[in-house]
Amino acid sequence: MSTTSRLPGIVTTDHVFQLPLDHQLPDGEQIEVYAREVVAAGRESDELPWLLFLQGGPGGKAARPLGRDSWLARALDDYRVLLLDQRGTGRSTPANRQTLARRGTPEQQADFLAHFRADSIVRDAEVIRRRLLGEDGRWTVLGQSFGGFCTLTYLSLAPEGLREAFVTGGLAGLRSSAEDVYRAAYPRVARKNEAHYARYPQDVERVRRIAAHLVQAAARLPDGGLLTVEAFQGLGMLLGFGTGSHTLHYLLEEAWVEGLDGPELSDTFLAGVQAQLSFAHGPLYAVLHESIYGQRSVDPAGTEWAAESVRKEFPEFDAEQALAEGRPVLFTGEMIFPALFETDPALQPLRETAQFLAERGNWPDLYDPVRLAGNQVPVFAVVFHDDMYVDTADSLETAQAVRGLRTWVTNEWEHDGLRVSGGAVLDRLIRMARGEL
């Protein structure tokens, strides 16, 4: 039975769907997939077109609205919105160290998680569409980041379900392997580091001091995890967001206190680091991250910890070498390294599972270049110039490969522009779709 709630300016309705784990076996094991319907207050009975929101990730649950805010405020002017908790996340049947332990061996867990990629998410969406809108109903999709990857998969597998598509920071390379992705990513991350240190030159020595300390001995985080120098470098994830550089700076400036035996890393700093680095809130992000690039026609051998192997081509990210040579220590970005499964308590039980997924090959293709070349669905995408998470060159090449796709390239916002622009990013895409721009 659906539950309806009223928040400032909006009305929400819960939906829970029983869906096949494997859509090739519709009568096989079932999982729950949750979605939250949101409509502007006072418009509950209006005949509004639907907009499906596909969250970034992988492994990220949909935003929990507190009212009519952010991009949702603009969307609700025109649409009835469905916020999907992609399978394994949020209120959908969760997949984490606690629940996966019930699946059996690490290999069995990996086999289970092989059904949690974009192709399965799109097939979930298609079943949900038919149940909510009817067989012939079509909806608009808005894909942010990884949600944009899913949108390209949607256009490849089931474009008949879509009336139009919006993509924000999520035009993936159709033929890019995981190694290609990271080979392009490290230089972008280096540029974000340079920009941060230019903005806050005092952070150069702060970071070197912390890194030198961690090289000597890893610190213990409040949750029992270990802060190694490599884990510390992972704070570079912040540098791809609009306010991320400032957040990192404020975290670093409270790193030290005078303890009984001299300077030591502060509880404030360690708690702040844990809040940024722990995967307890989204373990699938780490476990499935490289598999989102797996396609048998591109790289049938699998991903094989691509971020780790490609890192060797960029010695400037070696913290100990940087310390020895007197250079700034560089933070890494959206890279998942096998060492994280040794240091993060939320990931430690999934170490072998992640290894099986890294070794898994012959992943089904996620994109159909031929079908995309003949695409009939109107697609409107914003490409954030020098996006740290999604390569601009890949995005523009994909834009050329999808028939009828219109792009807007901007450096006014970073990767999180949809969320932080007060609706301006989505408004421009909608105006493009309406022929106003």
Residue 33 φ then ψ, to 5°: -125, 125
Q: Distance between CA 433 and CA 420 in Å, rounded?
A: 21
Distances (CA, A) of 196 to 157, 202, 330: 41, 10, 10
132: tokens are 């909510």
SS3 call for 125: helix
Is the Cα torsion angle 418, 419, 421, 422 positive or negative in sign? Answer: positive
Q: 60 near 281, Cβ under 8 Å? A: no
DSSP H helices, 217-375, are: 229-233, 244-252, 267-277, 283-288, 306-311, 319-325, 340-343, 351-359, 369-373
Cα 299–chain centre separation: 22
Q: Distance between CA 255 and CA 70 in Å, rounded?
A: 32
Distances (CA, A) of 143 to 84, 126, 183: 11, 15, 24
Q: Distance between CA 429 and CA 380 in Å, rounded?
A: 6
Q: Which residues are catalytic?
A: 145, 387, 415
Burial of 187 (0-12, 13-18, 19+ CB in 10 A): exposed
